[in-house]
A and B are shown apart, each in its own frame.
Chain A
Amino acid sequence: MTDKKEYRGSIHQRQKDLMLAWYGQLDQAALTGTPPTVSMMISGNCVELLEGFGAVPLYPEINALQLAIRHQSLDPILAAEDLGYAADNCAYVKADIGCLLKGITPTDGKLPTPTLILCNFVGCNTYLKWFEHLAKFQRVPLYVIDVPFMRTDEPSRSDLDYVVNQLNETVKRLEQLTGRKFDYDRFRQAVECSSRTEGLWSQIKHLARRSPSPFDAYFDAITLMGPLYVYRAKPEGVEFFEAALAELEAKADAHKGVYEQEHFRLVMEGPPPYPYFRTFRDMFAKWQACAVASTYSTVGGLWEFGFRHDPDHPFESVAMHMIAQNVTNRNLLQRYEQIRRYVEDWDADGVIIHFVKSCRLFSAGQGDMRDYFTKQLGVPTLYVESDLEDPRYFAEAQTKNRIDAFFESLEHTKATASIRRKV
């Protein structure tokens, strides 16, 4: 087995430091009441707006996934089920609410009760329920930013106006709740920062088009997602991604890949099985298969195709990001198209669809996606099922069996193709 399963550069340490600093701020907010904190969803988040108040985002999803990676998600899930949540409810929600009930936090520090629960509703109906329940249990004001779903190719003027209006209402709401005046300049600067971070992040993602790819655009990209969502709109974020780009670019220039030899290039669809993150990764590492692109790394924002926040139109660009530039609020066919572009432009050998039971937004209809890729496009596609948070739905032997069989077959196809090329 290859000794070096994944890249461990200095950015990984820096990433840890940044995330700990964030948890430190949350801990401070819990103790002192400042800075103000706002619960928000990762998908299509509008962290730029919070900068205008010096407020810190609180992402329940990050808490939930941290818990799962540490193999601590089952207890809170069961606590939530005691309350009446069903076996088939999203396990992210159950883990988060279970933690609230049991007073568990993902670090040693405390988590604050947020100033406002801001539900950025970007397609996922579970978000609405989740935040509604949090608001009920925590007795915190709730505001929903209703983002029109991408049911047309491009958002309409009416869609944008609706979201911009709600962003303005959110500002008023936050002014009342924090007692702070919205700092428009700071907001504009945040949008400016975001656009720079996004440019860097996009360049990193495009590095994966090289062969070998200097990083795994699924497993490693997830590591980089924390800073992207928490620090995107801050100078720290820009610095972090500058360093990350430099480091990965150097690696790419030296033709260093994730594995000694990059045997397979994959596009990954769907969230990872966090409770078995390492086990799952090893199943691909065994075959020296590297993800060169993934849809999950675009839940918070889809930047590799050119979109950037625009400091000249800060509100409109935040609205545009929420409506059209994150995978969560885009429709299934737009996701097919995104994956198709990855397969072509990132030169992938196959697609792995990871069905997660918790998330119907991602998973409902993925069988049709498989049908499209295998039958219409002839792209080798594997479909495996488990969950992103609930360890009870990961069948290790079955999953491994399917992955092994997929690569045994892919190996054959690739070898045949290369022989044909030689002939």
Chain B
Amino acid sequence: MALFERMWDMCSELHFPSVREWKRAHPDGRAIAYFPVYTPVELIHAAGMFPVGLAGAGDRLDIQHADARFGSFICSIVKTTLEMALTGHLEPFDGFLFSSICDSARNLCFVLKRNFPGMYVDFLHLPHNPSSPAATQFLVEEYRRILAELERLGNCRVRDDTLHRSIALYNHNRALIRELYDLRTRNPEQVPTWQLYQLIRAGNFMPVEEHTAQLQEALVQFRAGGTKQRDSIRIVVEGSFCEQPPLPLIRLIEDAGCYIVDDDFVIGQSWFDSDVPREGDPLWALATSYMDHAVCSSVRHDFRKPRWEELVAKVRRSQADAVLFLVAKFCEPAYFDYVPYRQELERAGIPHLQLEFEEKSFTFDRLRMEVETFVESLVFD
């Protein structure tokens, strides 16, 4: 389908044509990069800026400089992002907003700050203790601080109604993504994940208004289309919340006989389980949404709701047969969570398989064999 090819081109381009184009159309506009995990894009959007979710450089850029700064045992996305910066690829960006993900990504924030003193580089601390009544107020203040920085950078003033409008736009976008995900859970043969994935990932590089239109178009296409239902197992993919798997790997998983019925790919595009309230203080609305309605992942901490229980619930909800842990190499949060996840899945009698990938890998023979074996072990007597 042409739509998906177009989408994927956008994700693969290291020179960010969509960002350059946007900046040509908005001469005073600023583009702000972020890691698409949990970032309040609404703030950036409301400041009249273009939030762009960076997800590494895949296998399209050789690491030539970054490994001198981040040594062994550090994940690929941190290195490819720094490599992009050190080789001038991030030139269209005026800022980079980091948020709490992991220690490596946070240190990258400060390495960028040192090496690019002219760029706005900031770190957003997301609360790790949602049980505290003080946490929401803290997050509101933190959002306010970021917003003030953005206002300074853009030499603008963001009013509440502007923020509300941005929230509404993103609400609509995310609601469509939720609809697509629901459709796929019900009829996975209608919504191949390797297509959905391209569509959602492209949202990192498009103005939200345009992306929403593409989502609507895709929804129509998916509903109309559909292939013969195959004898495949239904799986939930878990662990790819930050570094994103290469597209061929997703195709490979589907080809091996899996319907992906839920996943945590590109979590930053769909990180609330419901709409952000459109009344009252918009910062408060965004903050409470993070505290109470952000989707669960290995880098969001809420000890009131154990993640392993959420995972089992997700498997039940999507009527999946099994869980596939698709973990980025050297992703420590995902490595840690594997232990309690595994315990609880086994307790619940849910089969699982763990695979490791790097966004820059391009040969998958061993992974293919393991996925196929896993499917064979579930399908054959």
State yes or no: do A and B touch (Cβ within 8 Å). Answer: yes
Report A's interface with B, CB cutoff 8 A.
Answer: 83-86, 88-90, 93, 121, 123-126, 128-129, 132-133, 135-136, 142-146, 148-149, 151, 156, 158-159, 161-162, 165-166, 169, 331-333, 336, 355, 357, 360-361, 363-368, 371-372, 383, 385
- Number of B residues whose C-beta is below 8 Å from A? 54
Known A-B contacts A162-B135, A364-B78, A367-B69; the reply to A331 vs B128 at CB < 8 A is: no
B336 sits at the interface (CB 8 A): yes
Contact at B108–A365, with CB atoms within 8 Å? yes
Contact at B138–A148, with CB atoms within 8 Å? yes
Query: How far, in angstroms, from A162 to B135 measured CA to CA in the complex?
Result: 7
B108 partner residues in chain A, CB cutoff 8 A: 364-365
Contact at B306–A357, with CB atoms within 8 Å? no
Query: How far, in angstroms, from A363 to B74 measured CA to CA in the complex?
Result: 9
Query: How far, in angstroms, from A44 to B207 measured CA to CA in the complex?
Result: 42
B106 partner residues in chain A, CB cutoff 8 A: 123, 149, 331
Contact at A166–B110, with CB atoms within 8 Å? no
Query: How far, in angstroms, from A89 to B73 measured CA to CA in the complex?
Result: 10
Question: Which parts of B76-111 form the interface with A (CB within 8 Å)?
Answer: 78, 100, 102-104, 106-111
Contact at A142–B332, with CB atoms within 8 Å? no
5 contacts between A and B (CB under 8 A): A162-B135, A360-B103, A364-B107, A367-B71, A368-B111
- How close is B242's CB to chain A, nearest CB, in angstroms? 12
Contact at A129–B333, with CB atoms within 8 Å? yes
| 12 further A-B pairs in the complex, CB-CB below 8 A; given A123-B103, A159-B138 | A84-B339, A85-B339, A133-B339, A133-B340, A136-B306, A143-B131, A145-B129, A331-B123, A332-B107, A332-B110, A361-B103, A365-B110
Query: How far, in angstroms, from A336 to B111 measured CA to CA in the complex?
Result: 11
Nearest chain A residue, comparing its CB with the CB of B132: A166
B211 sits at the interface (CB 8 A): no
Contact at B74–A144, with CB atoms within 8 Å? no
Nearest chain A residue, comparing its CB with the CB of B299: A125
B26 sits at the interface (CB 8 A): no
Query: How far, in angstroms, from A368 to B113 measured CA to CA in the complex?
Result: 11
- How close is B17's CB to chain A, nearest CB, in angstroms? 30
What 0/1 readout, one digit per residue, does chain B (329-342) give for beta carbons within 8 Å of chain A?
11011011111101
Query: How far, in angstroms, from A86 to B306 measured CA to CA in the complex?
Result: 21
Contact at A121–B128, with CB atoms within 8 Å? yes
Known A-B contacts A364-B78, A365-B110; the reply to A88 vs B70 at CB < 8 A is: no
B380 sits at the interface (CB 8 A): no
Contact at B72–A364, with CB atoms within 8 Å? no
Query: How far, in angstroms, from A158 to B107 measured CA to CA in the complex?
Result: 23
B127 sits at the interface (CB 8 A): yes
B142 sits at the interface (CB 8 A): yes
Choose among B125, B145, B332, B342 the residue that contacts A360 (Cβ–Cβ < 8 A): B332
B20 sits at the interface (CB 8 A): no
B372 sits at the interface (CB 8 A): no
A149 partner residues in chain B, CB cutoff 8 A: 100, 106, 123, 125
- How close is A147's CB to chain B, nearest CB, in angstroms? 9
Query: How far, in angstroms, from A124 to B115 measured CA to CA in the complex?
Result: 23
Known A-B contacts A142-B303, A372-B114; the reply to A365 vs B70 at CB < 8 A is: yes
Query: How far, in angstroms, from A166 to B135 measured CA to CA in the complex?
Result: 9
Query: How far, in angstroms, from A188 to B143 measured CA to CA in the complex?
Result: 34
B220 sits at the interface (CB 8 A): no
Contact at A124–B332, with CB atoms within 8 Å? no
- How close is B272's CB to chain A, nearest CB, in angstroms? 20
Contact at A146–B335, with CB atoms within 8 Å? no
A129 partner residues in chain B, CB cutoff 8 A: 332-333, 336-337
Question: Which parts of B279-337 form the interface with A (CB within 8 Å)?
Answer: 299, 301, 303, 306, 329-330, 332-333, 335-337
Known A-B contacts A133-B336, A146-B128; the reply to A360 vs B303 at CB < 8 A is: no
- How close is B296's CB to chain A, nearest CB, in angstroms? 13
B118 partner residues in chain A, CB cutoff 8 A: none
- How close is B324's CB to chain A, nearest CB, in angstroms? 15
Contact at B141–A365, with CB atoms within 8 Å? no
B134 sits at the interface (CB 8 A): yes
Query: How far, in angstroms, from A126 to B301 measured CA to CA in the complex?
Result: 12
Among B111, B135, B336, chain A packs the most CB atoms within 10 A around the CB of B336
Contact at B138–A158, with CB atoms within 8 Å? yes
A124 partner residues in chain B, CB cutoff 8 A: 103
A148 partner residues in chain B, CB cutoff 8 A: 125, 138, 142
B182 sits at the interface (CB 8 A): no
Contact at A125–B103, with CB atoms within 8 Å? yes
Query: How far, in angstroms, from A169 to B342 measured CA to CA in the complex?
Result: 33
Among B108, B128, B342, chain A packs the most CB atoms within 10 A around the CB of B128
A133 partner residues in chain B, CB cutoff 8 A: 336, 339-340
Contact at A368–B332, with CB atoms within 8 Å? no
Contact at B336–A89, with CB atoms within 8 Å? yes
B125 partner residues in chain A, CB cutoff 8 A: 148-149, 151
B275 sits at the interface (CB 8 A): no
Nearest chain B residue, comparing its CB with the CB of A164: B134
A366 partner residues in chain B, CB cutoff 8 A: 71
B122 sits at the interface (CB 8 A): yes
